[in-house]
Structure 1
Amino acid sequence: MATPASPDLKRYRGAVIGAGGIARQSHLPALRGALGARVDVIALVDSATDVSPVDAIPLLSRPEQLHELAPLDFIDICTPTASHLELTLWGLEQGYHVVCEKPVALTRAEAGMIAAAARTNGRIVMPCHQYRHNPVWMKVKEWLASGAIGRWHLAEFSVHRSAADSGRVAEGTPWRGTSAAGRGGVLLDHGTHLVYQLLDVAGMPASVSAWTGRLRHARYEVEDTASLRFEYPGRLVTMFFTWAARARENRIRFVGDAGAIEWTGGELRLERAGAV
C-alpha cells in the first residue's frame, strides 16, 4: 500500500511507453504501488493493435498524443532496445525527464548525444540500473568495502537461462533474439547489469576479452551465450551469460585472501577462516 504523501511534496505526472511484460510486471506496479503517493500514471503508450488496457489508464498509440494530456513531468520507456535512443532524445526535447530500461545507449557516441540533450533541456535521464539498489548486492558491496574477505582477487558472475525472455509474444522468436529490435543478445540483455555492478566495486579494468556464440537457439539472430574476462592488476573477473541452459540460475562469487562471498540460489553467504 502506498504511503500517503505530504501535502507539501510535489506529485509527478508520468506516462509509460511500451506495454509489454517489463511494464506490466515491474514498472506499473512500482509506479502505482510504493511510488503511488507521489506519482500519477496518466497514460500508457503502445502502437501494437493487440494491447490490452491496464485498469483505467488511458491507452495511446503514439507518444505525440501525450501533448493532449499535458502537463507531463516524465516518461518511462519500456520498449525494445532499438527504440531507446530515439525515444529518450524525443522525451528530452519535449521537456520531459526520462526513465529508460537498460541499455539506454549502446555506444559512447549515443551516450554523448543523450547527455548533451539532457544538459540542453535541463532534464534528467535515469537508466533502470536497479541491481545497484538490490539489498543483497548492497550487502556484498558493504562486505567488500569493509575488507570482510581481505583483498579480493577473483570474482565470478554467471547468469543461466533456457531462452530469451519471450516478452508479450508467446510464440516465434522473441524480440530479444532479433538484431533489429534487441540490437544484441544475452550479453547486452543480462550483461548490462553485471558490468555496471562490477565497475561499481572494481573500476575500469586494464583489459577485456570476450567470446560470443549461438549454442542452442539457431533461429536467434544474436548470440545466446557469452563469456567475458576482465583483467585488473592482481585481479581477475569472469562473467558467463547464457540462454542455452537447462535451468534458471544466478551466481556471484568473490574470493579474497581472508574469505569468500557467494550469492547463489537466493542465498548470500560470507565465509571466513572456514566458517560461514
Structure 2
Amino acid sequence: MTTDVTATGVGTIRSGFLGGGFMAQVHSRAARAAGAITAVLASSTPERGFAAAQDLGIARAAADIAELLADDIDIVHVCTPNATHAELALEVIRAGIHVICEKPLATRAEDARALAAAAEERGVVAAVPFVYRYHPMVREARARVAAGEIGELLTVDCGYLQDWMLRPGDDDWRVTAADGGPSRAFADIGSHLCDLLEFVAGERIARLTARTRRVYDERGGRPVTNEDAVSILVEMASGAIGTLLISQMAAGRKNALTLELHGAHASIRFDQERPEELWVGQREGSRQLFRDPETAHPGVARFSTVPAGHAQGYQDAFNGFVADAYAAIRGDELPDGLPTFQDGVRAAQLTEAVLLAAHEERWVDTPVS
C-alpha cells in the first residue's frame, strides 16, 4: 500500500476498481473528485477489464483480483454483481486494503456480519455507499429532527419508486437469486430507503411486516426468483408507525425516493428527485426550504459544495461519500454519518426480516442496537 495511515499524514490515494459497469463509472468519478489516482481496474474477464479501463480512464487493467491486489493501491471499490460482493470484499480486507463495497454488502446477514468483523480486526476503513445521506437537505432534515423541531415522531410515510423493470421484456442480471440475491427491489433500493429513514429519524425500525409481489415469472427467457415490489408496515423504536412502498415497476417514476416524517409539532419531507428542497409542514401552513449554506444548521454547510442556486445532485452526494471515506483512510477522525460495513449489516438484517415477514405473513422484530 502507498499510504501510511498515521497521524503524520499520507500521500495521494491510489484507487482500484472491481467491475466496469455503471457503478464503476460513478465510483471512479468520485475518486477523481477526491483527488485520488484511479490506478487499476479488473472485471469478469481480462478483455472486459481492458475495455472498461479505457472507457473510464483508469490507468491500467488487471487480469483478475489477484493482480489488482498486488498493485500499489490503498483502496478497492467493489462494483460487481450482488452475489460476488462478500467474497471479493473479504479478499480485499485480507490483503489489508481499505474497501468500499456496493450494497447489498452481502446477500446473507451472516456473511455481512463476518465482513464487518473482518474489517474491524484488520483495521481497514470499510464503507458502503448509502450516498443519499450526503444530500445537504437530508443532513438539514436530520439536524432539524435531532434539534427537536418536529417534536415527538408520530408517523412516517416513505417510498422508493422506479419504472425500469415495468415491461415484461425488461431484463437485468439482478432478477435471478444466483446473481442478484434472494431480494431485488428491497435489497437494491428499499435498503437505501430504510437507511435514510433511520438516519434522519435518529432511531431504528423495531418491527415490521411486509408483502412482496413478483409481476412476471420470466424475463429474458430466465425465471425471475425475486420481487418486483414490496409494501412494508413499520413500527419505530419510539412507537411511531409508518408505511414504506418500494417498486421497480411504477410507471413514470425514475428514482423517486421520498421520506416524510410527521412529528407532534411539524412534518418534514425530502424528495430525492428535488434534492435542493425540503418541505416543512405545520398546522399554520407549510413552506419550502432551499439549500443555502448561509442558513443551514451547524455542521450541514460542509455538504454544500457550490453556492446556493447552483444545483447539486446524485453525483455530488456520491462525491461527498467517497471524500469522507478517503478522509478516514488518511487518518482523520471518522466523519459524521459515514456509512460503514455495520450499516451494510443493518441493511442485510432488514432484508432478511422483510423476506421472512412476507413469507410467513407476520410481524418480525428487528435489532434496535
Normalising by the smaller structure, the TM-score range is 0.7 to 0.9
Of residues 64, 67, 72 in structure 2, which corresponds to 1:65? 67
Output aligned runs, 1:97-176, within 5 Å.
97-164=98-165, 173-176=171-174
1:275 counterpart SS class: strand
Three-state SS of the structure 2 residue aligned to 1:29 is helix
> Which residue is 1:229 aligned to?
233
The residue identity in structure 1 corresponding to 2:160 is: V
- The one-letter amino acid of 1:175's match is W
Contact 1:161 1:244 survives alignment (8 Å): yes
Q: Distance in 1 between matches of 2:116 and 2:66?
A: 22
The answer for the alignment partner of 2:328 in structure 1 is none
Q: Does 1:243 align with 2:248?
A: yes
2:69–2:92 contact (8 Å) kept in structure 1? no
Deviation at 1:234, TM superposition (A): 3.6
Decide whether aligned partners of structure 1 residues 55 and 14 sit closer, same or farther in structure 2, where only a CA change above 3 A counts. Answer: closer
- Give 1:3-152 correspondences, 5 Å limit: 9-24=10-25, 26-32=26-32, 34-36=33-35, 39-48=36-45, 49-50=47-48, 51-52=51-52, 53=54, 54-55=56-57, 57-69=59-71, 71-152=72-153
Deviation at 1:16, TM superposition (A): 0.7
Letter in 1 for 2:203: G
CA shift at 1:56, angstroms?
Answer: 5.2
Structure 1 unaligned runs (5+)? 1-6, 166-170
In the alignment, is the contact (CA less than 8 A) between 1:13 and 1:41 conserved in 2?
A: yes
Distance 1:56 1:246, change over 3 A: closer
Unpaired stretches in structure 2, ≥5 consecutive residues: 1-7, 288-369
Q: Give the corresponding residue for 2:204.
A: 204
Over 3 Å counting, the alpha-carbon distance change for 1:216 and 1:269 in structure 2 is farther
SS of 2:285 mapped into structure 1: coil
Q: 1:164 to 1:126 in 2, by over 3 A?
A: farther
CA distance in 1, matches of 2:198, 2:269: 18
Q: Label 1:93 to 1:185 Cα distance change in 2 as closer, same or farther (>3 A).
A: same
What's the offset of the Cα at 1:67? 4.5
SS of 1:115's equivalent?
helix
In structure 2, relative to structure 1, the CA distance for the partners of 1:77 and 1:112 (3 Å cut) is same
- What secondary structure, in the 3-state scheme, does the structure 2 residue paired with 1:144 have? helix
Contact 1:164-1:176 at 8 Å conserved across structures: no
Which is bigger in relative contact order (C-alpha 8 A, separation at least 6)?
A: 2
User: Aligned in 2, Cα 1:148/1:216: closer, same or farther, shift over 3 Å?
Assistant: farther
Q: Residues of 2 paired with 1:23 and 1:118: CA distance? A: 22
Give the 3-state SS of the residue equivalent to 2:29 in structure 1. Answer: helix
Q: 1:136: Cα distance to partner?
A: 1.6
In the alignment, is the contact (CA less than 8 A) between 1:217 and 1:244 conserved in 2?
A: no
Residue 179 of structure 1: aligned partner: 177
Letter in structure 1 aligned against 2:250: A
Q: What secondary structure does 1:139 align onto?
A: helix
Looking at structure 1, the residues matched to 132 and 143 of structure 2 have their Cα atoms a distance apart, in angstroms, of 15
Following the alignment from structure 2 to structure 1, what is the Cα–Cα distance between the partners of residues 114 and 58? 36
Which range is displaced more, 127-136 or 215-224? 215-224
Whole-Å separation in 1 of the counterparts to 2:57 and 2:120: 36
Cα displacement (A) at 1:270: 0.9
**Alpha-carbon distance in 1 for matches of 2:170, 2:67:** 31
Q: Residues of 2 paired with 1:203 and 1:263: CA distance? A: 17
Cα distance per residue 1:148-205 (max 9 Å; x no partner): 222221111111111259xxxxx86211222111102111000111212222324233
Q: What is the total number of aligned residue pairs between the two structures?
A: 260
Q: Is the 8 A contact 1:44 1:60 kept in 2?
A: yes
More strand, by proportion: 1
Give 1:61 deviation, angstroms: 3.1
The equivalent residue for 1:275 is 286
CA contact (8 A) 1:152 1:257 kept: yes
Q: Tell whether 2:252 aligns with 1:254.
A: no
Question: Retained in 2: the 8 A contact 1:160–1:247?
Answer: no
Distance across 1 between alignment mates of 2:217 and 2:246? 14
